[in-house]
Amino acid sequence: MPLVKIDGLKKRFGDIQALKGVSLSINRNEIYGFIGKNGAGKTTTLNIFLSFLRKDEGEILFDGKPIDFTNTNYKQKIGYVPDVPAFPPYLTAREVLRVAAEFLGIENIDEKVDEVLAFVELQNIKRKVGGFSRGMKQRLSIAQALLGDPVLLVMDEPTSALDPVGRREVLNLVRRLKQSTTVFYSTHILDDAEKICDRIGLIDQGEILLETDMKTLRKKRHIAAYRLSASLSDNELKPLLEEIDGVLDVSIDEQGLLFVLDEERTQNRVLQTLIDKGVLIHSFREATPSLEDVFVEVLHENAA
């Protein structure tokens, strides 16, 4: 039984149908990447899951039980990290955590607060939250979310407002949580999802387009993309490749020349043509599709 099961979730804001029947499931002890562009419906889904927003239609099951908008008991088992965390600025990190711990009904408050402060490395910070950087607030947000030993950690774009250092810190924290809890990780930063997620759900315009685990995703979404280096420069090779029948797209990125073929068999024709033209091939290899490649491909498929 999945820990979270969302079925046919719909939400409308005025004329805009924000969610058009979102269905997904999250298994225990996995990091589930909820991926989509800004405005795709990720935050709306999370807000409904946390009863910040009412749903129009659909059902949400958490731990096998339906979530009721006015019943807050299920939140005992959930930790939530928003995209831009805000705390009363007149409190210190320890005071924020004490408040959160009391709301959660934790008994050994001091011990637990010390534990999570150490986990996010804020144990020596004495100043008030009003003077915290965004990265520190995000770490504090993770700390308060972990206080109640949650079964599920809901993270809404936790790295989107951070600089590269803060982003790396947050991703490292999430990696360390991998063994102990389930994470519902919403993001539009595909690189983040690729680094930490076990499974992904891809949402666009309020619809789930794809839901699968990362390994299957790469296998299923195999793109006939290749990288080539040869005796000619990338800029000299590009027009040669573009002339070959079956070569669909040729581009140059930071890793070099990348081209997509209509089918795998075309690679023989490409190599033969280049050799016939006197080009010395240094290397020819299959390019592993990134999550971004898959994301773009699925969006294009859906648009088509």
Partner 1 sequence: MKTLLKYDFQYFKKTSKWIILGLLSLFLSALSVLSARYMQELLRWALEQEGIDNVDFPPPTVFTAYEQYFANILQIFLLVVVFIALAMFTQDRNKGYATFFFAKPIKRSNYLLSKVLSMAILVFVTLFAGGALFGYYTFFLFDTFHVGRFLGALFSVFVFTAFIVQIGLLSAVLSKQFLKPLLITIGAFFLMSLFSIVKGGVFTVLPSHLLNTPYDIMAGDIGAWSALTPVFVTLALIVGLHLLSVHLFKHQDLV
Q: Is residue 17 within the footprint of partner 1 (CB under 8 A)?
A: no
Instruction: Tell me the residue type at 80.
Output: Y
Tell me the residue length of the chain.
Answer: 304
Measure the CA–CA gap between 23 and 58, rounded to whole angstroms: 9
Distance (Å) of CA 14 to CA 17, 18, 45, 63, 192: 8, 10, 17, 32, 33
Smaller CB separation from partner 1, 78 or 294: 78
4-13, strands of its sheet edge to edge: 16-26, 4-13, 57-62, 65-66
Give the one residue of 28, 59, 72, 288 binding partner 1; rule: CB under 8 A: 72
Measure the CA–CA gap between 239 and 233, rounded to whole angstroms: 11
Give the one residue of 28, 29, 59, 76 binding partner 1; rule: CB under 8 A: 76
Smaller CB separation from partner 1, 156 or 194: 156
Measure the CA–CA gap between 221 and 214, rounded to whole angstroms: 10
Smaller CB separation from partner 1, 37 or 103: 103
Site for partner 1 in 215-234 (CB under 8 A): none
Q: Is residue 50 within the footprint of partner 1 (CB under 8 A)?
A: yes
Binding mask 85-104 for partner 1 (x = CB under 8 A): xxxx-xx---x---xx-xxx
Q: How far is the CB of 225 from partner 1 (least distance, A)?
A: 41
Which residues contribute to the site for partner 1 (CB under 8 A)? 47, 50-54, 69-70, 72-76, 78-80, 82, 84-88, 90-91, 95, 99-100, 102-105, 144-145, 154
